[in-house]
A and B are shown apart, each in its own frame.
Chain A
Amino acid sequence: MSTVTAETRVFPTFEQVCQGFAGQITQLREMAPEPTLSDSVRVRRAIDTLIAETNADEAVWLESCIRCGQCTNACHYFQATGDSKYAPMRKMNLYRKVYQREIGPFRWWYKLVTSEVKLKDLEDLQELVYDSCSECGRCAMVCPMGIDTASLVHHQRSALVAAELVPPELNALRMEQKHRGTVFGASEDVLRKMIDTIREKAGVDIPLDKPHAEVMVLSSAVDLVGNGNGLLATAKVMNHLGVDWTVCSDGFESANFGLLSGDMSLWKHQVDPIVAAAERIGAKTLVIAECGHAYPALRWNPMLKSGELPFEMIYMSEFMGRHAKAGRLRLSPLKGKVTFHDPCKTGRRGGAFDEPRAVLNAMGSDLVEMPANKEFNWCCGGGAGIFLLERATYLRDESFKIKMQQVNSSGADTVVVSCASCRLNFEAGRQKNNWDKRVESLVELVADHLIDEKKVGSVTPIQGAAA
């Protein structure tokens, strides 16, 4: 390939990372806490949560469904299984029932003619809003009423958080992040060790806790405990661009299990230190690591007045795309046909379509699109925490076949993704199906193709720790 192929790998391949994760996920189920509240309290809290989260927007969406069935064309879980219970419109039925009984305009009537919501109903809901909905929003693209089912599903996840009905894997991680502030044990110490390892083994310097920096970069648990290549690649790109950047030890984690599980208070709680750190160091740009849901967790956090913040929040692919457009990323050519998989959270529900493509174009790559792309991209099937759920394996595997078929018909031999969750799911699917495609991370691909003059001149002398 290009200039850096000779370098020995510091970290295991992503294939190995992926296999390692599978083992860790198994342990999560055992760590999940048991419900502590009485059934009636759990139901009440779920209902109260839905009431509290229902504004006119949600009410209109709940009122609007005419059961025309068109959303079934858009949902990968329905298309993969043909099972009517996974039809997107069904995923709002319980929410609608609560809405109609509690705050709808005819609630007095619905209280008379509909039955009370029971814990069993909520338990049944778990599969619909966690296992079989990645909140990818593709159904909103076809709905003639324009109902945003994904956001309705998200409110129901919040209700299930209140009812202590989060699936065990997600719940374990949520609890870990809530009480210990780490994900998969990725603590501040783990970050320091990783930075040291990268400096020692790869000779790439990562500025940690600079008092002032233009760019604050986040990492993610997947990179810190498994795929060190991710952080390494990020560092290479940042250093190549010569930006004034840092990683903050008090706000480095992109992953947000508050958003994933539906725990709004954890969502906010996890975001606050990152914002505080960015403000403290006077950052102008906060770069969010390749972790799909971290993008909405920060960039589109509805609780955060981000318009008033002194910095902007952008995704790794956006950051690289801007520099690529400005001609600052100098990259060696990428051979073969590639296609780009837009993560739901940064694509259809994030709006970052052009930037990753600009990066690939900067590599002079033969970029081809899948039949359904950008706003219409099919979800990989593992988003919104579903990759972690063992119970959802069948749904994930079946729906991934749609994705494979999409990639196959694009003619590409490499799929580039820009989301750790997508990447894990692609990698798992690739291994299961012995798929002959390559799955690449955008940032790692860029790092591998950097043309670095400085490096060409001084490959061996490692730069000092001081930045």
Chain B
Amino acid sequence: MTLLDFARGPAIHWSLIILITGTIWRLLGVLVLTRGADLSRPRDAFGNFKGYRTVFSRAWPSGEFTTATRYQTAMAYVFHIATLVVVIGIVPHIEFITSLTGASWPGLPNAAGVAVGIIALASLLALIIRRVSKPAIYCSTWGDYFAWIVIAMPLVTGLMAFAHLGPRYETMLAIHILSVALLFAWFPFGKLMHAFWFVFSRAQSGVAYAHKGVRI
């Protein structure tokens, strides 16, 4: 079995199994916990359910914090969007998703894919440089750095595979797939789970504050 066969076969398969089991495990392990009840009378002016707006409104910091959060918010947006475009936009990825789900859509030209991939990597670098240079603000744990590496690896190896840098293409492709397998396998256990938590976390605060008549 070559490295590529291993990567494309058991490695990615088991990582998907870990991803799915772990994600559901962690989500349910939290969401099935007891629900606290706030028995106090809600403020009439502002219905509870409107608190769910926070899920969306918190997508951008309010004007009060613009100056302080501009750099990070902008970079985080560039990173998330660029990564999403790369993940669902370039043909090999679409082919992989198709092989899993059957769904298919047109891809981007390679030049566009590479450009967006480089943008994603650049924004990721911009974020880590800030994190490293301002330790007092970020209070980073090893998990933060590990998550960064786990996210950066697929971008780096993907671009290298495309550019035919480093080892032969099929080896680089295998390393790329293995790095994604690592990402999948790590996803449920670290902070990458914020991809799910943000919905619940924002909604909870939104509802709790809406109960008191405050829009956050």
Contact = CB atoms under 8 A, between A and B. Distances in A.
Contact present between A and B (CB < 8 A): yes
Interface of A: 54-61, 63-70, 72-74, 82-84, 87, 89-90, 103-106, 140-148, 151, 299-307, 309, 312, 348-352, 372, 375-376
B135 interface: yes
Interface string B44-60: 01100000001000100
A151 B216 CA distance: 15
Contact of B33 (A55, A65, A67, A349): A55
Interface in B25-41: 25-26, 28-41
B28 to A, nearest CB: 8
B65 A70 contact: yes
B60 to A, nearest CB: 9
A60 B196 CA distance: 10
Contact of B29 (A89, A106, A148, A351): A106
B206 interface: yes
A140 B204 CA distance: 11
B54 A299 contact: no
Contacts of A56: 30-36
Nearest to B58: A146
B194 A145 contact: yes
Contact of B216 (A58, A104, A106, A140): A140
B204 A60 contact: yes
Contacts of A89: 139
B171 interface: no
B201 A147 contact: yes
B56 to A, nearest CB: 11
Sorted from nearest, which 8 A-B pairs have the closest CB atoms? A105-B29, A351-B213, A146-B202, A84-B136, A55-B36, A73-B68, A307-B41, A69-B137
Interface string B165-182: 000000000000000000
Contacts, number: 179
A376 B66 CA distance: 12
Nearest to A147: B201
A348 B33 contact: no
Contacts of B137: 69, 72, 84, 87
8 contacts: A59-B33, A63-B30, A67-B144, A144-B61, A145-B197, A305-B39, A349-B212, A349-B214
A135 B35 CA distance: 22
Nearest to B69: A70
A178 B65 CA distance: 41
B189 A106 contact: yes
Contact of B43 (A61, A309, A351): A351
Nearest to A301: B40
B30 A59 contact: yes
A141 B216 contact: yes
A55 B35 contact: yes
Interface in B81-115: none
A350 B212 CA distance: 6
Given A64-B194, A73-B69, A54 B33 contact: yes
A66 B191 CA distance: 6
